[in-house]
Chains A and B, each alone.
Chain A
Amino acid sequence: MSEPILVAENLTKWFPVKRNLTQVLRGQRTWVRAVDKVSFTINKGEIFGLVGESGCGKTTTGKLIMKLLEITDGTLHMQGENVTHIGGQALEKYRRQVQMIFQDPYSSMNPRFTVREVLMEPLEIHNVGKDVKERESWIREILNEVKLSPPDEFLVRHPHMLSGGQRQRAATARTLMLNPSIIVADEPVSMIDLSTRAEILHMMRQLQRELGLTYVYITHDLSTARYFTDRLAVMYLGKIIEMGVAGSVIDRTLHPYTKALIAAVCEPVSGKVNRIKDVPIKGEIPAATNIPPGCRFHPRCLYAVEECWQEEEPTLVDVGGGHKVACRRYAEIERLGDAARTSEASLGMKRTSLRT
């Protein structure tokens, strides 16, 4: 019974680039097109992943959802209400429903605050609970939820007295203080040790089930995304180029960029030491101020044909089962495989295999 909770339509965020005098006089203006017409629907109770390399716009999208940044264009609806440009009371209400877990668990909490103060802050801001005692008991309850028990031991500590995993639990506790519906998690485990990562993810999943939360999970790590998310969207240069059920996107990859990402990921299996990784991509990421015409991936695509840069940018097409891809040649590529390649280059290296 999945109903949409967050709907983004053509969500756009462009940042103005500072101009020098000459440019001002000439009337030139450049924009960093960080998020460029992004549309998605997130269903209640699901874990939705935003995946991509740095600069693809996933973090910016997260901040747009959090309303830490103003939306330049497009709309955002939460539970049917238009929340694109809201302020005052409506914004306050929105904030209580959408919270964020940040990447660096240490710097996301004021190092001079104790855990108690960190957790008390959202309650103070929104005037939750009628007195300090009520607030404290709520804090204790949440600390138990995130398995930081006994709570009294953790209330008096400062962030630097906690381990990385503990800090992230405290940060999660903070998001829960206001009883949100949506939690945006920006790389929540990338700065945590491997052996503790799964523990944190496990906790997050448990909370989701118990409290009926919806997650927007932002990461660059495809493997973790596969493990944790239900559906995911792959972003490139501000656009979603492939989206669908996690397993489907990763096992039945359609977009050339996603293919390159998958090929680049390392796996802990033997036998790969003496083999050069064949990553089907060329060139470097262009600057976000200078987005290529047509399909923005075309300069790096090994399957690109003329239409890819001459025609309009391809939009997301549903290929079945909710799996969407923005590539005009996806069917051919799926059918022909490597034979569909139009370019020999691969990662700019001269040789493609090693003599053993």
Chain B
Amino acid sequence: MEKERILEVRDLELHYFTRKGVVKAVDKLSFDLRKGETLGVVGESGCGKTTMGTALLNMPTPPGRIVGGQILIGGRDVLKLSEAEVRRRVRWEQISMVFQGAMNCLTPVYTIEKQMKETLQQHREMPKDEAMKRMVQYLNLVGLPEQVLKRYPHELSGGMKQRIVIAMGLFLEPQVVICDEPTTALDVVVQAQIINLLKELKEQLSVSFIFITHDLSIEAEVSDRIMVMYAGRIAELGTNEQIYGPQGPAHPYTQRLMAATPRLHEEVEELAFIPGTPPDLVAPPTGCRFHPRCHVVMDRCSRDDLPLREIEPDHLVACWRCFHE
């Protein structure tokens, strides 16, 4: 089932240059995104998932800077293009992003129509009626009526605002949409609505999504493949079945995260937790960055540089223990 690869990331490195030192937030990340799939990126705070999202748009938050690697879209390395080219042809045209808390970034003093039109026209010259047609088309696609255009953000609910922001991420018809925690601030019922929406869109538009969240449960219901990040690196990358299926994930970190997730219909005596805290990325641990907190750590985990290897088709893990099995 080799689908066409839309996005290829090779050895991406993003560092934050702070007064306290250089924070290696994203450390030689490599992965692919295939056409029409949803790739989930899951990890806890500080793992670098949001940073990676902005890096894909070549928009690192200062004092961050991309210091290495390639981001290939349609064979072309985005990092080699000038800022002007990126702005014109890549951002929003090929990749767009729905930022964390984006629904709260809608300006309260302008109508939805004005804000959507502004974004649309910043990227493409479009006559007014065509712009209007497209906006309505995409609003309907996300399940909102045309009347929403005349409203102000404060008149709409959280779910509606989130859908508008998703529509804005889609209406230039990019190939990839990155969603960063799109459901975090929403109630569980509205969250289900948005999740259903994303599934529908994926099928109708054959857009590829990158779904970034800290919630393992949501990923299970949304993503075809899941990438688990820890301390700026990929710990595990596998299909939904491989990670959430009966055999369970391979990487000890993923395993513990699963064990730490409460289940709705199971009586769990004691939830697992991982002692310690994520490492300081200015001076991360040697070898595997998770080894200080790992419950099955071995000697070589702290010594040797850790590669990401395929242990079965489509399943990559960065863990010495898994390579031996």
A residues adjacent to B (C-beta < 8 A): 53-54, 163-165, 193-199, 201-202, 220-224, 226-227, 247, 250-251, 260-274, 276-277, 279, 281, 284-285, 347-349, 351, 354-355
| Distance from B141 Cβ to chain A, minimum over Cβ atoms (Å) | 11
Which A residues touch B221, using CB under 8 A?
Answer: 266-267, 272-273, 277
Which A residues touch B244, using CB under 8 A?
Answer: 268-271
Which A residues touch B203, using CB under 8 A?
Answer: 354-355
Return 18 A-B CB contacts under 8 Å, by A number: A194-B215, A194-B257, A196-B277, A202-B273, A220-B187, A226-B262, A261-B189, A264-B189, A266-B191, A266-B220, A267-B221, A268-B220, A268-B261, A270-B245, A271-B245, A273-B221, A347-B192, A349-B200
**In the complex, A251 Cα to B224 Cα: how many Å?**
29
**In the complex, A260 Cα to B196 Cα: how many Å?**
15
Question: Does B256 belong to the interface (CB within 8 Å)?
Answer: yes
Structural contact, B220 and A269, CB atoms closer than 8 A: yes
Q: How many residues of B contact A (CB 8 A)?
A: 53
Known: A226-B262, A277-B192. A272 touches B187 (CB 8 A): no
B199-223 CB contacts (< 8 Å) to partner A: 199-200, 203, 214-223
Structural contact, B192 and A279, CB atoms closer than 8 A: yes
Which B residues touch A268, using CB under 8 A?
Answer: 216-217, 219-220, 244, 258, 261, 263
**In the complex, A269 Cα to B214 Cα: how many Å?**
16
**In the complex, A220 Cα to B245 Cα: how many Å?**
27
B162-212 CB contacts (< 8 Å) to partner A: 187-189, 191-193, 195-197, 199-200, 203
Question: Does B129 belong to the interface (CB within 8 Å)?
Answer: no
In-complex Cβ contact of A266 among B200, B215, B265, B275 (8 A): B215
Question: Does B267 belong to the interface (CB within 8 Å)?
Answer: yes
Question: Does B84 belong to the interface (CB within 8 Å)?
Answer: no
Structural contact, A274 and B199, CB atoms closer than 8 A: yes
In-complex Cβ contact of A197 among B143, B191, B220, B273 (8 A): B273
Structural contact, A195 and B265, CB atoms closer than 8 A: no
Which A residues touch B283, using CB under 8 A?
Answer: none
Structural contact, A222 and B189, CB atoms closer than 8 A: no
Structural contact, A267 and B256, CB atoms closer than 8 A: no
Structural contact, B187 and A54, CB atoms closer than 8 A: yes
Known: A194-B216, A220-B187. A276 touches B199 (CB 8 A): yes
Structural contact, A247 and B267, CB atoms closer than 8 A: yes
Structural contact, B245 and A227, CB atoms closer than 8 A: no
Question: Does B153 belong to the interface (CB within 8 Å)?
Answer: no
Which A residues touch B265, using CB under 8 A?
Answer: 226, 250-251, 267
Which B residues touch A260, using CB under 8 A?
Answer: 189
Known: A197-B273, A266-B217, A269-B244. A250 touches B192 (CB 8 A): no
In-complex Cβ contact of B196 among A196, A267, A276 (8 A): A276
B131-163 CB contacts (< 8 Å) to partner A: 143, 157, 159
Structural contact, B159 and A284, CB atoms closer than 8 A: yes
